[in-house]
Amino acid sequence: MKSTTRTVLAAPVLGMAALLMTAGPAAAAEGSVQADLSPTPAAPSGGSGQGMVEIDGTNLSFTLAAQGLLAGAPHAAHIHFGQDARNECPTAADNTDPQEFFTTTEGAPAYGEIVVSLTTTGDTSPDSALAVDRFAVGDNIEYSRGDVQVSEEVAQAILDGKAAVVVHGVDYDGDGTYSAGERGPSDLDPSLPGEATDPALCGVLNASQMGSMPQGGVETGAGSTTGVEHAGLIGAGALAVAGGALLARRRFASQN
């Protein structure tokens, strides 16, 4: 009877101690990735660029630079990701149009849907995908933004190398402007010429060793070791609880 009673008293306390010792802070997505941008199928050669992204939890910061684009024109840019996409940049095999054009829709099976609009100001959600008044303008662009909020799924997909940066705007006929021409209206918005929304450059975001984007968490004192000291205190407290339980068992035994 005494043995049973002692076991009943000790088991919950020791079980709780074990649970506290194994519990730890949830890991948040954190890291940097970059993409080298190259021309998409049917886009004029000569364009290039780089996208750099830093993730801290669900907070995203980015820098986008591109050269060889249509001068004097806005260039929509996005981060793409899709659960069912190949999560890569499109190839000539994705060009199903018999004409020499390549649309955003044709590229979707490769790079997925828009998850972040890389606007210069304001909203960065997919709702701003065609906000042409809030994207960079010119043949050479470079800009940065911080404090862009994304979902945990998107943050992790970006760090896992499953997202791509796509810059849009192609001057197929070389007339120096976005015109309907032979390309016709956009497959995304018929009020816009297709040249304005067709993809020009693409690059998959991959793990980076770059030094231009600081690891903000480490430099601000909130790095990946945050919470370890708390885990240690939890472990010490758990051992104290376990020790107290053992002492209580011995006292109970001596009294009975």
Token representation of residue 152: 């945990």
- pLDDT for res 102: 94
- pLDDT for res 100: 82
- pLDDT for res 201: 98
- pLDDT for res 199: 97
- pLDDT for res 85: 95
Q: What's this model's pTM, rounded to 2 decimal places? A: 0.72
- The domains of the chain are located at 2-25+227-255, 30-214
Among 51, 54, 29, which residue's Cα sits nearest to residue 146? 54
Rounded to whole angstroms, the maximal C-alpha distance in the chain is: 99
> Tokens 């828009």 appear where?
114
Query: Measuring CA to CA, how many Å separate 228 from each of 13, 27, 203?
Result: 24, 11, 36
Helix (H, G, I), strand (E, B) or coil at 32: strand
Sign of CA dihedral 246, 250, 252, 256: positive
Question: 3.50.50.60, 2.60.40.200, 3.10.20.90, 3.40.50.970: which CATH number matches 30-214?
Answer: 2.60.40.200
Full pLDDT tens readout for the chain, 256 residues:
544 444 444 444 444 444 434 444 456 789 999 999 999 999 988 899 999 999 999 999 999 999 999 999 999 999 999 999 999 999 999 988 767 899 999 999 999 999 999 999 999 999 999 999 999 999 999 999 999 999 999 999 999 999 999 999 999 999 999 999 989 999 999 999 999 999 999 999 998 655 444 333 322 222 222 222 223 322 333 333 333 333 334 443 444 4
Question: Would you say 62 and 52 are in contact if contact means Cβ atoms under 8 Å apart?
Answer: yes
Q: Which residues contact 189 (CB under 8 A, 6 or more apart)?
A: 130, 197
